[in-house]
Amino acid sequence: MAYDFAAMLQTIKDKQWSLADIDWDAPGAETVTDELRAKMAPFMADLVWIEHVGARGFASLAKKAPTPEIHEIYRYFHAEEQKHANAELALMKRWGMLDADGAMPEPNINVKMAIKVLDDYGDSLPLSGLATLIPLLECALDGALVKFLLDSVDDPVCHEVFRHINSDESRHIAVDFQVLDLIGSGPRHRLLIETVGNLKPQVIIGLIIVLVPLVNKMRDNIVAMGLSEKKLFNAVKRFGTIGSRGANTWRVPAYQVLKALAKMVVNRKHPYHRYLADPLVRLTNRIPAKWLGKPQAWTEEVTHEPVAS
Ligand SMILES: [Fe+2]
Ligand SMILES: [Fe+2]
């Protein structure tokens, strides 16, 4: 199937929005009660940082994009993920979730590790691996978590912000899977050589330690917010459902591996949770945050200021 990436790029350009388009002082902030604020503040902080994980992923993807148009699309997506982070931070400010000095909230340890691994290894991952990992993260977290928010919050400004974000995300997911299908249409031996040749053991171990507890940690957070883990699992399931629509996607080795992982994630009875994912959440919770060092330079681009971008 031939995809029209030029038309997609034009749509992306046409749909650009900015934080300055939103009236951050409009009524509705009072709908966030003290109880809701306390419950949601850590979730929002994680969400802001997950957007940054997405931004970092697209920055790496842009460097490996198979065509100039896809390169340009990824550059837009990189900026859009940063915009999502900033919009969510502006919502946190609106709801009184930030310190007096507007300081950036700390991400949980699993998100911190994801940022670190992407920073250290993101650029060395093969295109097919990264192009598979990003849609899984987008299905499971980036796109899904924002939908949970809308179930919990009545604030009309929040709903307006997420109309924009969800519209962006629908294009992210569409392009993610179109590129995956495009990669799958290449010669199979090249895919295998690219995958095996580039995957160093430390990268595989890094990904397991990061990715596996990241999803389960978010599940714990969602359950703590009183939401059903089923919704998260349904979001993860979309990875296999959308992937199966591409004629060539199944030929990408990384896709097969991550699809198998997604299948274990959505089956709560699978030993994967008892023996790997949940223990890894507990283990990583004990890692002192300072071991991971200072946040990397690109995380300094986070701001709740409604700058036009
Ligand atoms: Fe996003
Ligand atoms: Fe996204």
Report whether pLDDT(295) > 60. no
Task: Give the ligand at the shortest distance from the Cα of 85.
Answer: 1
Q: What percent of the chain has pLDDT above 70?
A: 88
Does position 147 have pLDDT exceeding 90, yes or no?
A: no
Ligand 2 midpoint to CA 57 (Å): 10
Please state, in angstroms and rounded to a whole number, the distance separating the CA atoms of residues 238 and 27.
Answer: 35
Give the environment of ion ligand 2: residues with CB less than 5 A: 54, 138, 142, 169, 172
Residue 199: the pLDDT is 63
Q: Which of the 8 DSSP states describes residue 269?
A: T
How far, in Å, from the CA of 176 to the mean position of ligand 1? 13
Residue 307 or residue 167, greater confidence: 167
- Asked if the model's pLDDT at residue 127 lies above 50, the reply is yes
Length of the chain: 309
CA gap 27, 113 in Å, rounded: 37
Cβ neighbour number for residue 159 with a 10 Å cutoff = 13
Compute CA distances 164 → 15, 193, 267, whole Å. Answer: 9, 40, 32
Q: How many Å lie between the centroid of ligand 2 and the Cα of residue 59?
A: 12
Among candidate residues 117, 104, 106, 98, the one with its CA nearest the CA of residue 53: 117
Closest ligand to Cα 173:
2
Residue 126 is predicted with a pLDDT of 82
Above 60 in pLDDT, residue 52?
A: yes
> Cα of 138 to ligand 2 centre, how many Å?
5
Strand ranges inside the chain, DSSP E: none
Compute the distance from residue 55 Cα to the ligand 1 centre, in Å: 8
**pLDDT at position 298 over 50:** no
Q: Considering every ligand atom shown, identify the ligand nearest to the alpha carbon of residue 169 and give its number.
A: 2
For 297, the token pair is 């330079």
Question: What is the pTM (predicted TM-score) of this model?
Answer: 0.88
Between 15 and 56, the more confident residue is: 15
Query: How many Å lie between the centroid of ligand 1 and the Cα of residue 144?
Result: 10
End-to-end CA distance of the chain: 34
Is 307 a residue whose pLDDT tops 70? no
Mean per-residue pLDDT, 188-209: 70
pLDDT tens per residue, range 234-252: 888 899 999 999 999 998 8
Would you place residue 82 in the very low, low, confident or very high pLDDT band (cuts 50, 70, 90)? very high
How many angstroms separate the alpha carbon of residue 54 from the centre of ligand 2?
Answer: 6
Residue 84 Cα to ligand 1 midpoint, Å, equals 5
Mean pLDDT along residues 29-53: 88
